[in-house]
């Protein structure tokens, strides 16, 4: 396994991971894997609103800069994550502002951060998790953005982002849109209307937080239908939860599932990257799911070899 470098096998696509400054340079074995295997990184938390602008117009780029510098040092790209989301917002954004004030705050947030990282980032998840889980009854998720701006929320953020910097690819990122279903249908019509109306959007991010043995059959077909709109597509937050003990049978099924997802990307011309949400099982946001391609000892699991095989 020492000779298998997934970022090399992935070419012309990127192979990525969520990078986390809690572990980067603090956990030696984590750092060794993250330095060698990936060609694109997403800051796991460091660019979220509560981290990067905890106080009104009070920006703290320290942790986010650390990831951007690290990525540069290993010749990897960075996916900015994220601007408009209902979670990990500081209280001043979530409960105190009028619609006009919130609009100004959003524009200032996007403008200041994109200016800071001008020329350095490959893309931005401008939109994260804004489609409702109750489609088709309701299209947009109920959060501060839709409460204040209604259906103008997403176009606002995308338009502000494009106005600052035309270089980074602008993404709409979401979960449970991986297969063809009511939620991805809702996103498909939202995005189609954005394209028709000239709202800037370059790509769709499919999170892919999956459960063992439950990869949607229509994943590849679904990636393709968004690509056919003229968009890039990407697997952005892949992990596969064993939902039980990490035995040989489960690990083999997990490897198959990883292969299926990476293969769907490889078979889709416009699929630019596959990123896993973390590196090793001990540092995942899902504590006991054994969800990642490296185990707690930072040794490659069967999933690692399956990814290599799929690329």
Contact set with ligand XIL (CB under 6 A): 44-45, 128, 207, 237, 285
Minimum gap (Å) between residue 67 Cβ and ligand XIL: 14
Nearer to ligand XIL, 207 or 260 (CB): 207
Residues 285, 287, 289, 291: is their CA dihedral positive or negative?
positive
Nearer to ligand XIL, 31 or 45 (CB): 45
Nearer to ligand XIL, 234 or 308 (CB): 234
Minimum gap (Å) between residue 1 Cβ and ligand XIL: 25
Question: Could you tell me the two tokens for 311?
Answer: 């690329």
Nearer to ligand XIL, 86 or 195 (CB): 86
Q: Are 235 and 265 in contact (CB under 8 A)?
A: yes
Minimum gap (Å) between residue 2 Cβ and ligand XIL: 28
Rounded CA separation 299/130 (Å)? 36
Rounded CA separation 64/19 (Å)? 10
Number of other CB atoms surrounding residue 56 within 10 Å = 15
Q: From the CA atom positions of the chain, what is the Rg in Å?
A: 19
* Phi and psi at residue 254, to the nearest 5°: -60, -40
Nearer to ligand XIL, 67 or 308 (CB): 67
206: closest CA among 236, 226, 241, 179? 236
Question: Could you tell me the two tokens for 10?
Answer: 């992935």
Minimum gap (Å) between residue 44 Cβ and ligand XIL: 5
Minimum gap (Å) between residue 128 Cβ and ligand XIL: 5
Minimum gap (Å) between residue 65 Cβ and ligand XIL: 19
Q: How far apart are the first and last CA of the chain?
A: 15
Element (H, E) at 173: strand 169-174
Beta partners for residue 234, in sequence order? 205, 273
- Pairing, β 209-211 against β 203-206: unpaired
Residue recorded with tokens 């990127």: 14
Nearer to ligand XIL, 127 or 212 (CB): 127
Q: Give the catalytic positions in this structure.
A: 237
Distance (Å) of CA 201 to CA 125, 154, 218, 263: 10, 10, 23, 25
Rounded CA separation 195/184 (Å)? 16
């Amino acid at each position: 396994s020492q000779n298998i470098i997934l970022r090399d096998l992935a070419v012309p696509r990127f192979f990525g991971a969520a990078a986390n400054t809690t572990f980067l340079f603090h956990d030696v074995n984590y750092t060794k894997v993250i330095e060698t295997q990936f060609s694109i990184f997403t800051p796991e938390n460091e660019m979220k609103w509560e981290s990067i602008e905890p106080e009104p117009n009070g920006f703290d780029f320290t942790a986010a800069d650390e990831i951007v510098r690290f990525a540069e040092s290993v010749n990897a790209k960075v996916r900015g994550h994220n601007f408009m989301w209902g979670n990990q917002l500081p209280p001043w954004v979530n409960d105190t502002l009028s619609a006009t004030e919130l609009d100004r705050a959003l524009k200032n947030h996007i403008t200041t951060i994109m200016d800071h990282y001008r020329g350095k980032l490959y893309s931005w998840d401008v939109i994260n998790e804004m489609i409702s889980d109750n489609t088709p009854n309701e299209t947009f998720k109920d959060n501060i953005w839709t409460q204040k701006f209604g259906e103008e929320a997403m176009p606002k953020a995308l338009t502000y982002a494009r106005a600052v910097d035309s270089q980074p690819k602008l993404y709409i990122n979401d979960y449970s849109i991986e297969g063809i279903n009511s939620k991805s249908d809702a996103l498909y019509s939202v995005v189609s209307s954005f394209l028709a109306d000239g709202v800037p959007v370059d790509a769709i991010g499919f999170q892919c937080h999956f459960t063992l043995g439950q990869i949607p059959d229509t994943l590849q077909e679904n990636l393709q239908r968004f690509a056919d709109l003229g968009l890039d597509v990407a697997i952005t937050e892949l992990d596969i939860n064993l939902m039980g003990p990490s035995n040989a049978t489960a690990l083999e099924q997990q490897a198959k599932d990883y292969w299926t997802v990476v293969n769907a990307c490889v078979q889709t011309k416009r699929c630019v990257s596959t990123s896993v949400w973390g590196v090793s099982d001990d540092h995942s946001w899902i504590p006991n799911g054994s969800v990642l391609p490296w185990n707690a000892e930072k040794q490659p699991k069967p999933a690692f070899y399956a990814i290599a095989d799929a690329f």
